[in-house]
Structures are given as structure tokens and as C-alpha cells.
């Protein structure tokens, strides 16, 4: 999907409205009108919605695989990021003026075949690739934007392994690695 500035505005407006709807408990998003006006929102899409407050993470929930329409994924993940991220208390009405919202639209993940850690390090594109690791039912992902905070291969993968519930050196176990890209809308 090609996203021009107008489409990006629509996506961001939907996410912000869905967050307000969830926090305030009143209907704001007119899905039928939006679909009539912007039929491209019916396409399947996988998005992460990130909420920051005072430059600190306040909620982030998303889908790795496209399983519903883009509009439904934006709305459900925006509401979940506001109210259901287990790392945070639900967003309150008094916080709405202090938040920044970002929507990341993901490309379909592709398995990255690698022979060892050195080969993986050679193939990963720092700052570009979002990464999913999977090992015996343990799984975690980091969006490409996480490279901004964890910009070394070792810190990125060490904490990603821990996020998955594995030891920080889980790459020694040769987990399955998938990569994807994200179009950031903010």
C-alpha cells in the first residue's frame, strides 16, 4: 500500500479518535462513513499503535500479521494500547492532551535464514528491520523504531530474547527469526 500524506492523516485521525472513544466511553469513530469515503481502509492490514506521553512509552499494542481490515486493526489496537497494555494503567481522560500517537503499518514478516549469530548480524538491517524471534513457543517482536533506543545488535537482541521470556543469549539456541518493515505514521 502506498501511503501519501492524506492517507497518513486519515490513519492517524482514526487512531486518535479510537483512543478518545475508548477513554471517554462515547462513540466518536464513524466506521461506515470512513469506509465509504476511503475504501482503501477495507484492505487487510497489520498495525501497531504506540502512545507516548512526555516522550515516554505509555502503551503499544499491535498485530504482526494482517488478519482484518486496516480500519478494524487501527481501531482495535488503538483502543487496546490506551486501555489494555499490561505494562501500564489504562489511559485517563486527563492524559489525552499530553499524548502523541504513532501508527506503524507492517509489511508481512518473512523468515530470515541464517547459519549462525555472525551471519544473522550481517543480514539484519539496523534501523530498518523489525524483528520477530520464535523459539519453542516463546515469541517476541520489536518494531524497527526500537533500534533508536537499542542501536547495537547485542542490546537489541539481548532484550528481545528477554521480552520473549528467554535468556538474553537466546540467539545461541538458533531461534527462528522473521523480519518486516514498518511505515511509521505520526
- Output the average pLDDT for the chain: 97
Q: Torsion-angle region of residue 116: left (phi > 0), alpha (psi -120 to 50) or beta?
A: beta
pLDDT at 157: 98
Q: Which residues of 93-120 are buried (b: 16+ CB within 10 A; e: fewer)?
A: eebeeebebbbbbbeebeebebeeeeeb
The last residue of one of the domains, among 85, 106, 127, is 106
Q: What is the pLDDT of residues 35-64, one digit of tens each?
A: 999 999 999 999 999 999 999 999 999 999
Output phi, psi for 89, to 5 deg. -75, 155
pLDDT band at 27 (very low <50, low <70, confident <90, very high): very high
> How many domains does one find in the chain?
2
2: pLDDT strictly greater than 90: no
Q: Are residues 138 and 63 in the same domain?
A: no
Average pLDDT over residues 135-152: 95
Q: Which residues pair with 167 in a beta bridge?
A: none
The last residue of one of the domains, among 42, 75, 106, is 106
Which domain, by its residues, includes 126?
A: 110-181
Q: Are residues 59 and 138 in the same domain?
A: no
1: pLDDT strictly greater than 80: no
Amino acid at each position: 500500500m502506498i501511503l501519501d500524506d492524506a492517507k497518513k492523516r486519515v490513519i492517524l485521525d482514526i487512531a486518535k479518535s479510537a483512543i478518545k472513544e475508548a477513554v471517554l466511553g462515547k462513540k466518536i469513530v464513524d466506521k461506515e462513513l470512513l469506509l465509504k469515503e476511503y475504501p482503501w481502509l477495507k484492505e487487510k492490514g497489520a498495525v501497531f499503535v504506540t502512545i507516548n506521553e512526555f516522550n515516554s512509552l505509555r502503551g503499544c499494542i499491535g498485530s504482526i500479521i494482517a488478519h482484518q481490515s486496516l480500519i478494524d486493526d487501527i481501531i482495535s489496537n488503538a483502543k487496546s494500547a490506551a486501555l489494555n497494555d499490561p505494562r501500564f494503567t489504562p489511559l485517563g481522560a486527563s492524559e489525552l492532551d499530553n499524548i502523541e500517537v504513532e501508527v506503524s503499518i507492517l509489511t508481512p514478516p518473512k523468515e530470515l535464514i541464517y547459519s549462525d549469530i555472525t551471519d544473522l548480524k550481517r543480514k539484519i538491517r539496523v534501523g530498518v528491520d523489525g524483528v520477530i524471534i520464535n523459539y519453542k513457543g516463546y515469541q517476541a517482536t520489536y518494531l524497527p523504531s526500537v533500534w533508536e533506543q537499542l542501536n547495537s545488535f547485542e542490546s537489541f537482541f539481548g532484550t528481545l530474547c528477554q521480552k520473549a521470556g528467554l535468556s538474553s543469549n537466546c540467539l545461541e539456541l538458533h531461534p527462528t527469526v522473521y523480519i518486516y518493515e514498518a511505515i511509521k505514521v505520526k
